[in-house]
Structure 1
Amino acid sequence: MLSGCTTSSDHHYLWPHGSRIDDEIEAAGELGIRFHASRGSMSLGESQGGLPPDSVVEDEDAILADCRRAIETFHQRERFGMVRIVVAPAHPFSVTPDLMRRAPRWRAATASGCTRIWPRRRMKREFCLARFGRRPVAYAEDLGWTGRDVWHAHCVHLSEAEIDLFVRTGTGAAHCPSSNMRLGSGIAPIRRLLDRGASVGLGVDGSASNDGAHLLGEARQAMLLQRVLGNPAALTAQEALELATLGGAAVLGRDDIGALARHGRGLHRPEPESPGLQRRPARSPGRRPLRAAAGGHQRHQRPCARPRGPDRGPGRGRPGGATQRRQSEAGEGRVESGDWRSEIGDR
């Protein structure tokens, strides 16, 4: 929320010591954030050939019963609803094909979206090939896990045919650049997904693979990561901001959030800069927020705040001034007065 995020979706699939999805929903209500609560699950333990320890897997009937309870208790279908429940079995190496086949039935019965974690590393793709004889995308399609109410996280290793499947079925992708970089997973083909017209949103992943969970900083990271392959125009600042706003709304299946601009009684949503982003605000505010996110976003400070006290004066507190140089030399990592205009180009 400190980064300006007003809607969050959390894929939680570990439930120790009697914890329930109710606890997350209660916390979201206290914060006042709109929340898509993903009731994640794992049912394929080590003793059955899966990857997670047996101590963290659940009985599949109990999983589906709790999904039903959560939907009937919390799911708000109306426009601008603050809580929606997502049925969300985890990785294909931690749930059985039977659970994957049974869970989408709730999608049709409740209109709640579904998600599952996409194997982000090649070794996990090899697991799918060895155990199921299918690449992850084909495996997901066989089990009913494609469609406009489905999104997958990471989507790092996609072939051209698999990108076409995402576009054809309307399946969404949640891009998590910082997590993919930290884990050495690779670079998701976001430019190709957008050019083909796929729905792409932005995520920060969990705290185990992201040190900041700052959505605006993540948008900047997404922009830079696409450019690192050699094309300085691979992803513009406007497109990166759209991933974090309109793109995320589209992936969540919502047309009631994602923009602040108004036209008459409803949201004004003209054509986006990329085909895969369904709509965008009338103005183009992408550059300044991403520049401001550079450097010190974890401290949540204003980019050009002037210092107070004896250091104020000529040459102090200005970009490149003495105060800024001393802070940099001291390694404080603060952005009191940095010239964020120089951090990225004008694209």
Structure 2
Amino acid sequence: MNKTILIKNGTLLLMDAADSVLAGDLLIRDGRIAGIGEIADSADILIDAAGCAVLPGFVQTHIHLCQTLFRGAADDLSLIDWLKKRVWPMEAAHTPESIRASARLGVAELIKGGTTCALTMETVNHTEEVFRVVAETGFRATIGKCMMDKGADVPTALREEAAASIRESLALLDKWHGREDGRIRYCFAPRFAVSCTRELLEQVARLARERQVMVHTHASENRDEIEMVERETGQRNVTYLDALGLTGQHVLLAHCVHLDDAEMLTLERTGTRVAHCPSSNLKLASGIAPVSRMLSRGISVSLGADGAPCNNRLDIFTEMRTAALLQKVLHGPESLPAGRVLRMATIDGARALGLEQEIGSLEIGKRADVVI
């Protein structure tokens, strides 16, 4: 049975449409917010939040829980070498036990830092262990099995056939999507255009629309990656994905560091979501994403720490600070102010996942994903 919880005397940052901030109380009943303001009701659990900020739980829209154990093991490399020399071999070596340990450590770090929800791309194998960890911990997550069916340098353990990758993804979707009262969801997660055939990407585009689930992939993170896609397809990354049907409000592209004007227009026209990962982009020397330009055009941009080996932490406060500072260097001190970047880490992240009616702000009736 759910107990009632009353958080008293806090400074409530509601993250509602008016960016309301008020001193008061927050009542939680049956896992949802039941009251905001001065509340005289009694409760099973009383928390005195005097001197504390009370916020909606942070939402990160690009994470790799399977990589938490790789922290510090893939430094001083650019993206493609980082993948080929370090991350892919380590992912290929994962066992169910190591994946489970990595996911538990990652979820613990995220929760400790105030993140209560994440969009996470796992590796090719043993993804069910991540679902089990999320179910056990109470964390909220949209999880995808990584899909990879192309690439001469991909380790054998990660190289799939398109049909087998689709079958396993659909099996996980059927078993886990909507479990735990909707706390756990599935998404299709083709790694990126470099390691996925056209056949696989076209099937993902079709199935995601048919099954009404998200697609989570990487795009335009690194200039070498973009050149590889362009040599093979004759198109830049986002243009290629759009031609395959992999754009829209149900699609989230991680990074989008290097976009031309046509790609920017595509993101704006289709409502495709973008996850900005500033620490990762700096560590891998990928570049600085045009966040201010995207936001000015109404493109959805939220935040993610990416994986531990390209960060080396999963702290949302670091990502908020870094995102803001980078845009100020490029566009002046008024760019990306604190209130705007806080929205990127809360309600904008929830909206990117299609969960804005359930989480992302402190409003009566919403899920009580709350941090103090």
* TM-score for both structures, normalised by structure 2: 0.66
Determine the structure 2 residue equivalent to 1:9: 119
Decide whether the 8 Å contact of 2:217 with 2:253 is kept in 1: yes
Alignment partner of 1:37: what SS? strand
Is 1:249 paired with 2:350? yes
Greater RCO (CA < 8 Å, at least 6 residues apart): 2
Q: For 1:254 and 1:197, locate their aligned partners in 2 and report how far apart those are by CA, in whole Å.
A: 18
Q: Name the Cα RMSD after superposition.
A: 2.0
Which segment drifts farther, 250-259 or 100-109? 250-259
Residue in 1 that maps onto 2:61: none
User: What pairs up with 1:262-341 in 2 under 5 angstroms?
Assistant: 262=363, 265=365
Q: Is 1:23 paired with 2:154?
A: no
Aligned length: 259
Secondary structure of 1:248's aligned partner:
helix
Pairing 1:120-269 to 2, within 5 Å after superposition:
120-262=221-363, 265=365
Gaps of 5+ in 2: 1-110
How far is 1:261 from its partner? 2.4
Distance 2:158 2:145 in 1: 15
Aligned partners of 2:309, 2:358: CA distance in 1, in Å? Answer: 29
Query: Among 165, 182, 186, which residue is 1:63 paired with?
Result: 165
Structure 2 CA distance for aligned equivalents of residues 31 and 180 of structure 1: 29
The structure with the largest strand share of the pair is 2
Which of 21, 36, 40 is the aligned partner of 2:142? 36
Aligned-partner Cα distance in 2 for 1:178–1:142: 30
* 8 Å CA contact retained: 1:71, 1:110: no
- 8 Å contact from structure 1 (residues 91, 119) kept in 2: no
Q: TM-score normalized by structure 1?
A: 0.71
In the TM superposition, residue 214 of structure 1 has moved relative to its aligned partner by: 0.5
Residues 178, 266 of structure 1: CA spacing in aligned structure 2 closer, same or farther, 3 A cutoff? closer
Tell me which amino acid in the other structure corresponds to 1:246: I
Counterpart contact for 2:350–2:360, Cα < 8 Å = no
Superposed displacement of residue 234, structure 1: 1.2
Q: Does the 8 Å CA contact 1:120/1:155 hold for their aligned counterparts? A: yes
1:101 equivalent in alignment to 2:211: no
Larger Rg: 1
Deviations 1:268-308 (A, max 9, x none): xxxxxxxxxxxxxxxxxxxxx9xxxxxxxxxxxx9xxxxxx
Instruction: State the 1:77 CA deviation.
Output: 8.3
The equivalent residue for 1:52 is: 154
Contact 1:176 1:203 in 2 (8 A): yes
Deviation, 1:255, is 2.0
Deviation at 1:121, TM superposition (A): 0.9
Distance 1:231 1:258, change over 3 A: farther
Q: 1:77 to 1:32 in 2, by over 3 A?
A: closer
Check the 8 A contact 1:146/1:169 in 2, yes or no: yes
Q: Which runs of 5+ in 1 are unaligned?
A: 268-288, 290-301, 303-347
Tell me, in whole angstroms, the C-alpha distance in 1 between the residues paired with 2:354 and 2:260.
25
- Quick check: 109-118 or 253-262, which moved more? 253-262
Change (3 A) 1:33 1:77: closer
User: What percent identity do the matched residue pairs reach?
Assistant: 33
State the secondary structure of the residue aligned to 1:98: helix
- Structure-2 change in CA distance of 1:238 and 1:24 (3 Å): same
CA deviation map 1:238-283 (0-9, x unaligned): 11111111111111122234434225x569xxxxxxxxxxxxxxxx
